[in-house]
Structure 1
Amino acid sequence: MEAGKPNVAFAGLGAMGFGMATNLLKCGYQVTGYDVYQPTLDRFIAEGGKSASTPSKAAEDAEFFICMVVNAEQAGNVLFEKYTGACLTLPKEATILICSTVAPADIDVFHKKLERTGRTYLRLIDCPVSGGAARAADGLLSIFAAGKEADLVHANQILECMSSKLYKIPGGLGGGSKAKLIHQIFAGVNIAMASEAMGLAAAAGLNTQEAFDYLKYSDGNSWMFSNRVPHMLDPSLPPYSAINIIAKDVGIITSTARDWKFALPMLSMAEQLYTTAISAGWGKEDDCVMTRLYLPNRPDLVTEQVKSSKTSETPQLQFHDIKFLLIGVHVAVISEAMTFCEKLGIDTDIMFDIVSNAAGSSAMFSLMFKDMQKENWSLGALHSTDLVRYQLSESVRKANAIRYPVFLSSAALQEFYRQLSTFVNTARIG
């Protein structure tokens, strides 16, 4: 431990949490870890950390308490459990950092519970993270931090240690979680859409390696597409992330949207796909196996078609048809996510910076954001979306002709038609 560095307690040493905690050790902090899995604690001790048997013991003498558990229920138990909660022993002026992905309403619950139990002497920062286990271990996460300005200043050094992109979200507690949820709308849809696109290439008999090589350099590309498809082509590659993980985040978003009485048709369709996959028993498997939903009779077809002799000259369906599906879905998601972003009161220019530099990014997000921002995210107001709608419609028609299900693409097309109808009717009234 470096002289002058505060003590840190860390709850939740899972894949992300372990990397974050060991990175803090490398930054010179003395870190006491808590986790329910003893082998993980043993690994952490081997890395130079300390361990505690309860959150309250970990919190003793800690200036910062970082919570990186699975969900809000676990976070509540770690902080407030009657006999072992961290709040029992945290010193005055200690700072609680909620790095888990939870609903904005959960942050409000934690804050009110601190007030109700007379622990207003504890600082609270809402700071979910994004980036994956490898980036966590290298201190290269994106962090969306919100809270009182003085608390953010106080925690700045430790937040900087864990991140390469630190966003301070205006508006107080809850802002960080809102920003994370908006980003995860893009991530949640784009992961599922990668499977829809590559499944279509395989179903059409195209060479899936050639399809990927074409699409990843096209306007249909997204960060998730480039990241996930290599594993579809070669399942021997290390897994990325389980279906359960993205399904959890998507469920938090759709639940929050219901609280706000806001419709998220694209994300809701993705949620149903994840729910179906989990019901099939695939929840712990890599989210790349979502292709099975599209190819139930030949679940390995995307891998098999890596060596197919067919190319983009196949008259039935060509690479650019798949590109148009991807483009249409990405544009529809911009409209959906950014309208919800404004509803939640998050600055859209800050959100542009966040998404552009994170896993939710896509080529169309960069190309269309500013124009769609000027038109209040409408899919009906811009002439450029007329061409997107037409190309999407033609590609959906071709997919239907070969009896291939395009769940997300069809949902996107319906959104284009719905918003066009709204725009036209509004113009007539005006």
Structure 2
Amino acid sequence: MQGSDDASDTASPSNAPRVGVIGLGAMGAGMARALRRAGFAVHVHDLRAEAVQAVVAEGGVACASPAELGARCEVVVSVVVNAQQTEAVLFGADGCAATLRSGSVFVMCSTVSPRWSEALAERLAERGLLYLDAPISGGAARAERGEITMMTAGSPEAYARAKAVLDAMAAKVYRLGERAGAGSQVKIINQLLAGVHIAAAAEAMALGLREGVDPQALYEVITHSAGNSWMFENRMPHVLAGDYTPLSAVDIFVKDLGLVLDMARESRFPLPLSSTAHQMFMQASAAGHGREDDSAVIKIFPGITLPEPKS
């Protein structure tokens, strides 16, 4: 494995490629803004007009379709939800695969099956396009600051072409080899831990509520004790505030933990904790909480009174 690149050596965008961002959710919008602050002329596309206009108001350039964006850009960063949406961005009606010029780079930031990512690299290569398997982690705040982590794999040519773009978006760009899919493998293992930690955090807070422990005091103690995790510290404030506005939704972990289990199933590898966490998110989704913040997995526990939103 090669080492990580630090963002401190960001190249001047004066000779950098034209860049586009497709998918302006919590992560994609922040990444687009980080690129703007680095001096790039950022082209953007999203199905939600309001998301596009928010970036345009800060200097971004709106594109009506992925095809239009592809025709204008040499590096396209895709931050959509899953493989199906990535397929639509590339090969659907008005997809950008048909308009990207030979030698352009498609940077795929979604959490997908490693096998699917590897096959996508081959499909794009047939069109003369370069590909980086580049899932991301870090959350919306780090995306806004240009400090996400990217777990990447691809050819030296793709890295050379996209380096300034990657460095503007990320504090750490891990190069995990030339084989597409290697980045997705590491991201899926990260999601195993993230999903299990959120489920465990919700279970712990639910037990505290059931036992009558003051939830704010419990949060304060745990976040200064050995039982703390980044997910407990980051997600339980949503529960304490009674605010389940989605930054990362329950259904994201239905998908991502499903990918974790699919990868393990292929090699007949047991994942008891992941299986349990997946069922917890499935239960929350089935109960109607799929589009709420992933901390809403706590709502599956009976006999607890959750904090109400503050007025």
Fold agreement, TM-score > 0.5: yes
Indicate which of 260, 264, 274 corresponds to 2:267. Answer: 260
Which residue is 1:28 aligned to? 39
Secondary structure of 1:281's aligned partner: helix
Which residue is 1:153 aligned to? 160
Q: Assess if the C-alpha contact under 8 Å between 1:231 and 1:239 holds in 2.
A: no
1:179 aligns with 2:191: no
User: Which one-letter code corresponds to 1:243 in the other structure?
Assistant: V
Which residue is 2:9 aligned to? none
Render the CA deviation track for 1:397-430: whole Å, top value 9, x for unaligned: xxxxxxxxxxxxxxxxxxxxxxxxxxxxxxxxxx
Alignment of 1:115-134 (within 5 A): 115=125, 118-119=126-127, 121-134=128-141
TM-score by length of 1: 0.65
Q: Tell me how far apart the structure 1 counterparts of residues 261 and 81 of structure 2 sit (CA, whole Å).
A: 18
Which has the higher relative contact order, 1 or 2, with Cα contacts under 8 A spaced 6 or more apart? 2
Which residue is 1:272 aligned to? 279
1:46 aligns with 2:72: no
Q: Assess if the C-alpha contact under 8 Å between 1:292 and 1:299 holds in 2.
A: no
Q: What percent identity do the matched residue pairs reach?
A: 37
In the TM superposition, residue 191 of structure 1 has moved relative to its aligned partner by 0.2
Structure ranking higher in strand proportion: 2
In structure 1, stretches of 5+ residues that fail to align are: 305-430
Which residue is 1:392 aligned to? none
Q: Assess if the C-alpha contact under 8 Å between 2:26 and 2:247 holds in 1.
A: no
TM-score by length of 2: 0.89
In the TM superposition, residue 28 of structure 1 has moved relative to its aligned partner by 1.3
In the TM superposition, residue 236 of structure 1 has moved relative to its aligned partner by 5.3
1:7 aligns with 2:18: yes
User: Which one-letter code corresponds to 1:48 in the other structure?
Assistant: G
Count of equivalent residues: 297
Q: Assess if the C-alpha contact under 8 Å between 2:118 and 2:179 holds in 1.
A: no
Q: Assess if the C-alpha contact under 8 Å between 1:31 and 1:50 holds in 2.
A: yes
Q: Assess if the C-alpha contact under 8 Å between 1:147 and 1:172 holds in 2.
A: yes
CA pair 219-184 structure 1, distance change in 2 beyond 3 A? same
Q: Tell me how far apart the structure 2 counterparts of residues 151 and 226 of structure 1 sit (CA, whole Å).
A: 36
Secondary structure of 2:97's aligned partner: helix
Q: Assess if the C-alpha contact under 8 Å between 2:156 and 2:178 holds in 1.
A: no
Which residue is 1:282 aligned to? 289
Secondary structure of 1:289's aligned partner: helix
Secondary structure of 1:87's aligned partner: coil
Which residue is 1:223 aligned to? 230
Which residue is 2:304 aligned to? 298
Q: Tell me how far apart the structure 2 counterparts of residues 85 and 56 of structure 1 sit (CA, whole Å).
A: 5
Indicate which of 66, 88, 94 corresponds to 2:98. Answer: 88
Bigger Rg, structure 1 or 2: 1
Q: Tell me how far apart the structure 1 counterparts of residues 293 and 193 of structure 2 sit (CA, whole Å).
A: 18
In the TM superposition, residue 50 of structure 1 has moved relative to its aligned partner by 1.1
In the TM superposition, residue 66 of structure 1 has moved relative to its aligned partner by 1.1
Structure ranking higher in helix proportion: 1
